Amino acid sequence: MKFITIDKKDWAKGIDKSRGTYQLFGPVTDINGCQIKALDADVQPEMEYTDSVLSAKSVLFPQSEKILVTSLNEADDDHHIMKRADGDYTPRAVIGIRPYDARAIQLVKMNFDTEDYRDPYWCDAYEATTFVGLAINKPGPLDFSTSTGTGPFSEDGLDILLADMDDKFLAKVLTPKGEAYAAACGFNTEADAKESQVLFDVMRKDAEKTISSSVETDKLKDKTILDLYEAPFWDDVAFSCINCGTCTYVCPTCWCFDIQDENKLKASSRFRNWDTCMSPLFTRHATGHNPRGEKTMRVRQRFMHKLKYFLDKYDSGIMCVGCGRCVKSCPVNIDIRQVCETMNNYEKKE
């Protein structure tokens, strides 16, 4: 573990230097606000952003990804045999990722990288990626990350954690991947580790103190699934929901996808696209039967998955990192903090 000081005057030059070996992703502002995007060669990551509309999950898990290809031409020997599509898994780095987004990627990893199954697309992308986090000195009003097992200075899932100190960044290099990235940038002014850690701790405490929003999840574990499932409050929670996919798409921990084939002439490609449990199509069977045919069932599913099923299955807390994006973006203001409170405090009436 070491600390590096990076003078902001040298920052852009270092970032540019790293482009030789890394494809860069980072926050940029366009007409619709801040987005985490692949950075063109002349674009620097914006290190003073409040938050991106969508999370950084798309760096590893694009909204549309071609996964398999095949030929439909029966003259070809290997026609109709699906083969993995070409993907670019050369080193990439995501600069300025928020600590809670990095934590979210660790939660998503539990799904894509298990002992039994390994999603090759996500895992290859994960291995190719260096996560350069930016600590949040001034958390926003919707940030409740400290009560979800992460926080503005959380190091979980990061290779480097940067702290903005006005004229410079203080970088805590956490992994060999992080070291390699710092070297590629030519950032090598080492800072005293002990002093730097003290500085980090002070800044972390200051940042955490400004967080006023939180959720309580302590009682969720002891509830039985069926009690929560059959609880009477779901119709009220779901009434205003319009069943758009906004909450799931902006969510850094939502990992569900749909598979689609697209053919042109004799070439066929198989894609996976983000899917959303808010859509009736998500569960509609080929027969036409839909086990989650009603809006209330779908809303319940989202919260039960995040706040109960995940918690029970992995014993790693809830499947929410407290970024507040769904609270902010929901067109009808369904607030996961309120739903969590309702679930946490629910007692079945005998």
Partner 1 sequence: MGNLLEHMGIEKDRVHFSWISSAEATKFVDVVKEISDKVKALGPNKKFVKDYS
Partner 2 sequence: MDTCIQKIREIAGDLLEKGEVERVIGFAEGSIPMATSPVAISTKEDAQKLCFSSTCGLNLANYASKEKGKKIAVVAKGCDSRNLVTHIVENQIDRDNLYIIGVPCPGMVDKFKIAAEMGGEITGFEEAGDTLIVSTVDDKKELNKQDYLRHNCSLCTHKNPVLFDVLVGEEVEEQQLDNAYPDVDAIEALTADGRWKHFEELTQNCIRCYACRNACPLCYCPTCFVDESGPQWVGKGQDKTDVDTFHFLRAFHCAGRCTDCGACVEACPMGINVRDFTRKLNKDAQDMFGWEAGLTIDKRPPLDAYSPDDPNDFIK
- Angstrom CA distances, 170 to 8, 191, 260, stand at 10, 8, 45
Which among 13-21, 22-30, 262-270, 314-322 is the span making contact with partner 1, rule CB under 8 A? 262-270
Out of 264, 285, 289, 349, the only residue in the binding site for partner 1 (CB under 8 A) is: 264
Q: How far is the CB of 130 from partner 1 (least distance, A)?
A: 29
Residue 270 binds partner 2, judged by CB under 8 A = no
Q: How far is the CB of 264 from partner 1 (least distance, A)?
A: 4
Among partner 1, partner 2, none, partner that 267 touches (CB below 5 to 8 angstroms by kind)? partner 1
Which among 111-119, 128-136, 159-167, 328-336 is the span making contact with partner 2, rule CB under 8 A? 328-336
Residue with tokens 């290099």: 173
Out of 279, 290, 342, 344, the only residue in the binding site for partner 2 (CB under 8 A) is: 279
Residues 6+ apart with CB under 8 A from 289: none
- Angstrom CA distances, 238 to 161, 212, 331, stand at 39, 26, 13
Radius of gyration of the chain (CA): 22
- 99-112 and 120-128 are packed helices; what angle lies between their axes, rounded to 10 degrees? 140
CB-wise, 85 or 183, nearer to partner 1? 85
Which among 14-22, 126-134, 156-164, 334-342 is the span making contact with partner 2, rule CB under 8 A? 334-342
Give DSSP secondary structure letters for 58-113: GGTS-SEEEEEEEE--TTSTTTT--EEPP---S-EEEEEE-HHHHHHHHHHHHHHB
Amino acid of residue 223: K
Report strand pairing: 92-97 vs 129-134: parallel
Among partner 1, partner 2, none, partner that 189 touches (CB below 5 to 8 angstroms by kind)? none
Sign of CA dihedral 290, 291, 297, 302: negative
Out of 227, 235, 261, 262, the only residue in the binding site for partner 1 (CB under 8 A) is: 262
Residue 269 binds partner 1, judged by CB under 8 A = yes
Residue 32 binds partner 2, judged by CB under 8 A = yes
Grouping H, G, I as helix, E, B as strand and the rest as coil, residue 304 is helix
Residue 33 binds partner 2, judged by CB under 8 A = yes
Residue 267 binds partner 1, judged by CB under 8 A = yes
Are 129 and 21 in contact by the 8 Å Cβ rule? The answer is: no
Which among 44-52, 181-189, 230-238, 259-267 is the span making contact with partner 1, rule CB under 8 A? 259-267
Among partner 2, partner 1, none, partner that 71 touches (CB below 5 to 8 angstroms by kind)? none
Which among 2-10, 22-30, 261-269, 308-316 is the span making contact with partner 1, rule CB under 8 A? 261-269
Where do contacts with partner 1 occur on this chain (CB under 8 A)? 262, 264, 267, 269
